[in-house]
Amino acid sequence: MKLSHYFIPTLRDVPSEAEVISHQLMLRAGMIKKVAAGIFSYLPLGLRVLKKVENIIREEMNRAGAHELLMPMLQPAELWEESGRWKAMGKEMARLKDRHDRDFCLGPTHEEVITDIARNFLQSYRQLPVTLYQIQTKFRDEVRPRFGLMRGREFLMKDAYSFHETSEGSLKEYQNMYQAYVRIFSRCGLAFRSVEADTGNIGGSTSHEFHVLAKSGEDEILSCDQCQYSANSNLIQKKQDDVCIKCKKGKFQSYRGIEVGHIFYLGNKYSQSMKASFLNEEGKSVYFEMGCYGIGVGRTAAAAIEQNNDKDGIVWPISLAPFQVALVPLDISDSKVKTVTHALYEGLKKENIEVLEHDKDERAGVKFKDIDLIGIPIRVTLGMRGLAQNKVGIKLRNEKEEKMVDVDQALHNIIETRNELFRKINPST
Amino acid sequence: MKLSHYFIPTLRDVPSEAEVISHQLMLRAGMIKKVAAGIFSYLPLGLRVLKKVENIIREEMNRAGAHELLMPMLQPAELWEESGRWKAMGKEMARLKDRHDRDFCLGPTHEEVITDIARNFLQSYRQLPVTLYQIQTKFRDEVRPRFGLMRGREFLMKDAYSFHETSEGSLKEYQNMYQAYVRIFSRCGLAFRSVEADTGNIGGSTSHEFHVLAKSGEDEILSCDQCQYSANSNLIQKKQDDVCIKCKKGKFQSYRGIEVGHIFYLGNKYSQSMKASFLNEEGKSVYFEMGCYGIGVGRTAAAAIEQNNDKDGIVWPISLAPFQVALVPLDISDSKVKTVTHALYEGLKKENIEVLEHDKDERAGVKFKDIDLIGIPIRVTLGMRGLAQNKVGIKLRNEKEEKMVDVDQALHNIIETRNELFRKINPST
């Protein structure tokens, strides 16, 4: 992509409305635009990052044997009355009437719709187990939306739901999803913890949250320095120096975390209230054993920024970066600079490496600031001075030193650098 | 994908609620499930087809130089008051109040939101031209939703918006989008016509609709049998045998069409009412010249079925098929059948060909019925009898004859057959 033909409306100044760094940087980097409180447009650069998170989630959910579907945003009141949540949900659930005066809500979650699908189509144990997921927009009318994508009202979420014959099968799937979540956040290149958690208004008996660690996190996590057991501090009500309740050896360390995922073993809370049953091997009608598994897509992108930033801007992990490589030609009218830039651009495209060329006629300092702000992991500088010695500069966003590389080794070197960054977060590839 | 591990809840009987064939077949093939009037869940098979349409659209929009973004479904009343459409839009636009009693609508279209983005970020002619698009859920509260995805209330749409300095530039982009639409519907493998059309409540002065031809189409299109000029019959009010108004030679033929796309040259209708201006080369503040360009994603999938079906089910064009190849082992416990099926399955996967294996223990007739119903273009039958002579059967969904092919030629033959089907609809690949 050539920057002069793209749409990245960066801002020089820190927007006054933004309290947290991810919100500030997403606005400054031209990733999002506010439409109303807690409601945003994802501009092209922001959407690219969302798609990166989405694709990692999709690949790992498919690998775990889940199947993607797409449920509607508008949901009829009848389904929520069956589960008892039409009354139980407060003002966080936005409601409206259609032109025929029928009641609907904007889906804050999809347990009711998916349970309705299961009871319609899954009649026999032979059709089980089934795990379904979607990546869909949800709406929750927060009292005080803030922090940009960290606490929005309209937001993108991956939610999965599993249907099993027995609680053993369901708990095994819970572990399967747990492992998928570990792979997802590892592949996102993030430092995270899975923590025991409260089940809240979703219900069920077992749940884990996945937290991206960041000094700015809203939640306190206590994590044993010996056995790695972690829990939400409001759940176990332990103090930082207490001895771990399980291994009895380690001490709890306190971290700040941003919740990006939450998995629940539900049992038959929803299947019972909505009369969702199937015939088991003995021909007996029994309720589905269910689980549900959520990830905030935009929130994961925002948490990645909270964890990875410096005074100059975002420092994307390679797997979430909107572009992996930035080409920065400094003397854009020089013919050698032009030729080498063009060759590298085409060479990288051919290798399916996402490259952004800063082809605008601006000073070197301005160009570097732009690339640092939007956080491209690998910056390649092409200047007349370097090229006079047949060298281009390669610099990582999270390192200070620029290394000078021979022009004819540059493409190979960039590809290797990129592969090395991927290997660091994902040893299996 | 193995059918026994997948979720395709097919129905044997024609659902009574479905009046048109695409609605019937989408329900019977387990592609969609009704949630409320005009509101559907897309089940895994249905979602796969939507993604096929989406990806063709995305590739061609990117090729045409448009950039993808994502705007919210909820839109604040203030923006619609600026354009004058908060009052002008009738009950088709669903409205709601948030918990703070602020007015919102569910976006039936996004001219207001995108114009707000343009006036915020595009200050100079140097930043132009810009064309942005999204693939996003919309809501229109139809009086009488029906025909499944053909006239739903919540539906998936691609909408693009262009911003230019001059009307010449804008009209050139209109032609660029027109050509992109021709490529999109060609690549979908559909017979279609572009027709001159009315601009309706979107406004502007020039517009074309794109219609998929089908006997069941709701609109009458008149198309000159000599010069190809086509128009909506309610626009030109010509009779079938009238002489063409342009070339004066041909006669109008009447076709039925299903509208799947609509492009508009808007001029400055929205930029003027919403005061969206930029500084031109002379430093003068002028309004953007705009165009907007829509495609119904689900509607395109439904129209493809209206055009391509027979008594046994759907006949997908290769480019929209949820799977390109179906493997049908007939004697699933036979070891040779198992071995050959496994080898072909893995061989096709390795070539990135989407393959569905009907691995359930059912009679041949039942299996063929399933595969015909969901419309997989290439069916490969593996039976003991054929394999005794080292043969497998290859049959196209839209042909009667099955050809018997040597086992060691089968993979090659399937790949060639698939490539040939693609070449027919897309000569450039």
Domains of chain A: 3-310 (3.30.930.10), 323-425 (3.40.50.800)
Is 50 exceeded by the pLDDT of residue B414? yes
Give the pLDDT of residue B429: 45
User: Exposed (0-12), middle (13-18) or buried (19+): which is A12, by Cβ within 10 Å?
Assistant: exposed
CA distance B200 to A213: 52
Is 60 exceeded by the pLDDT of residue A428? no
Closest CA to B328 of B373, B379, B387: B379
Give the pLDDT of residue A200: 65
CA distance B8 to B111: 38
Quick one: CA torsion of B16, B19, B21, B26, rounded to 10 degrees? -60
Dump pLDDT digits (tens) for A253-312.
Answer: 899 999 999 999 999 999 999 999 999 999 999 999 999 999 999 999 999 999 999 999
Calculate helix-pair angle for A297-307, A44-63, nearest 10 degrees: 110
Any chain A CB within 8 A of the CB of B99?
A: yes
Dump pLDDT digits (tens) for B156-209.
Answer: 999 999 999 999 999 999 999 999 999 999 999 999 999 988 766 656 678 999
CA distance B294 to A64: 36
CA distance B69 to A404: 36
Q: Which of A150-154, A187-191, A195-199, B207-211 has the lowest mean pLDDT?
A: A195-199
Q: How many CB atoms lie within 10 A of CB A297?
A: 23
Interchain proximity B94–A91, CB inside 8 Å: no
Look up residue A98 and give its two tokens.
């259609």
Residue B216 DSSP code: T
CA distance A284 to B374: 32
Is 70 exceeded by the pLDDT of residue A126? yes
Is 70 exceeded by the pLDDT of residue A238? no
Look up residue A204 and give its two tokens.
């069920």
Is 90 exceeded by the pLDDT of residue A101? yes
Nearest chain B residue (CA) to A41:
B71
Confirm if B114 and B133 have CB atoms less than 8 A apart.
no
Q: Which residue in A42, A70, A94 is closest to B41 by CB distance?
A: A70
Q: What is the mean pLDDT of residues A209-236?
A: 88
How near does any CA of chain A get to the CA of B123, in Å? 11
Q: How many CB atoms lie within 10 A of CB B62?
A: 14
| Interface A-B: count of C-beta contacts within 8 A | 147
CA distance B260 to B149: 11
Q: What is the mean pLDDT of residues A355-365?
A: 96
Cα angle, residue A209 at apex, residues A207 and A214 outer, rounded to 5°: 165
Strands A325-329, A378-382: parallel, antiparallel or unpaired by DSSP? parallel
Find all residues with CB under 8 Å of B140, minimum gap 6, and list them: B92, B93, B108, B153, B155
Any chain A CB within 8 A of the CB of B132?
A: yes
- CA A224 to each of CA A181, A190, A199, A241: distance values in angstroms, whole numbers, following the listed order: 21, 20, 22, 10
Interchain proximity B7–A75, CB inside 8 Å: no
Q: What is the mean pLDDT of residues B401-405?
A: 97
CA distance B279 to B165: 9
Nearest chain A residue (CA) to B122:
A9
Any chain A CB within 8 A of the CB of B162?
A: no
Closest CA to A218 of A259, A157, A252, A254: A259
Any chain A CB within 8 A of the CB of B9?
A: yes
Over the range B318-329, which residues count as b (16 or more CB within 10 Å of their CB) and which as e? bbbbbbbbbbbb
Q: What is the mean pLDDT of residues A382-390?
A: 96
Concatenated DSSP letters of B148-183: GGGB-SEEEEEEEEEEESSHHHHHHHHHHHHHHHHH
Any chain A CB within 8 A of the CB of B62?
A: no
Phi then psi for A229, rounded to 5 degrees?
-60, 130
User: Exposed (0-12), middle (13-18) or buried (19+): which is B139, by Cβ within 10 Å?
Assistant: buried
CA of residue A169 relative to chain centroid, distance: 28
Is 80 exceeded by the pLDDT of residue A204? no
pTM confidence score:
0.96
Is 80 exceeded by the pLDDT of residue A429? no
Any chain A CB within 8 A of the CB of B392?
A: no
Strands A277-279, A285-287: parallel, antiparallel or unpaired by DSSP? antiparallel
Is 80 exceeded by the pLDDT of residue A378? yes
Mean pLDDT across chain B:
94
Any chain A CB within 8 A of the CB of B7?
A: yes
Residue A108 DSSP code: S
Torsion sign (Cα): A231, A232, A238, A241 = positive
With beta carbons under 8 A apart, name residues in chain B contacting A33: 117, 120-121
Look up residue B170 and give its two tokens.
């804008």
Interchain proximity A41–B113, CB inside 8 Å: yes
